[in-house]
Amino acid sequence: MERIPEPELMNDPEQVLAYSNADFEAAHQSIIENFSQIFPNDLPLQNVLDLGCGSGDVTVRFAHQYPGCKIDAVDGAEEMLKQAKILIKEESLSERITLHHQQLPNCTFENEFYDAIISNSLLHHLHEPQHLWSIIKQFATNTTAVYVCDLFRPDSSQGASDLVDQYANKEPEILRKDFYNSLLAAFTPDEVRTQINNAGLDSMNIDVVSDRHMLIYGYL
């Protein structure tokens, strides 16, 4: 099945609210757990960059898991950042998480490099996927833990519909439609391998970790 791109930014208030209220407990917690299993427990995480933070749920979970770190969290959608700001304040993390309204590839931060760069569900939104890998190269060193989680595209539109029915059957129709479109817009593991090889990141690993998710991780 050919890829069908979707809009880069999720900025519709109704869509953002549905996403923010959705039950991502299991999926988002597994992202944090997988990171802690892949990378050493003694990894010195002081400065972390979160690319495509969305409504901030993964960002907040990461901050709780690693209480010694500070996080620069980036998203291009202002409505998403509004939800993230509310959550961060509720979790008393405003001193540790700084939100940035920026869009790849035009990102600037005070830190020149980061101890970890994480990204969840950003890649499939990008019309130019190399923008993600170029930003990672710009702000990573050979000791930076790089961890990207995203959907991968199923073999058919029916396969995408089946995944929506399995995992979002109780969600609002607007979220079901968004999930379906995201599956169609996602890349395959082979396509991502080509992307990272072209970016000079061929040392990175790609693992399929569920029937809809893949991880791209490692050191430069």
Tell me the pTM: 0.94
The mean pLDDT value for 42-64 works out to 93
Query: Residue 66 pLDDT > 90, yes or no?
Result: yes
Phi-psi region of 187 (alpha: psi -120 to 50; beta: other; left: phi over 0): beta
Cα separation of the two ends of the chain: 31
Query: Residue 17 pLDDT > 80, yes or no?
Result: no
> Which residue type sits at 204?
M
Please tell me the distance from the alpha carbon of residue 94 to that of residue 181, in angstroms, as a whole number.
33
Task: Mention the CATH class of domain 13-34+44-218.
Answer: alpha beta
For the chain, the maximum distance between any two Cα atoms, rounded to a whole number of angstroms, is 45
Nearest to 146 by CA among 186, 96, 192: 192
pLDDT tens digits for 118-162? 999 999 999 999 999 999 999 999 999 999 999 999 999 999 999
Domain assignments of the chain as residue spans, ordered by start: 13-34+44-218
pLDDT of residue 54: 93
Cα 216-20-108 angle, rounded to 5 deg = 55
Place of tokens 């010195």: 44
Please tell me the distance from the alpha carbon of residue 132 to that of residue 107, in angstroms, as a whole number.
11
Please tell me the distance from the alpha carbon of residue 132 to that of residue 128, in angstroms, as a whole number.
8
Nearest to 102 by CA among 59, 51, 150: 51
Helix (H) or strand (E) holding 148: strand 145-151
pLDDT of residue 20: 62
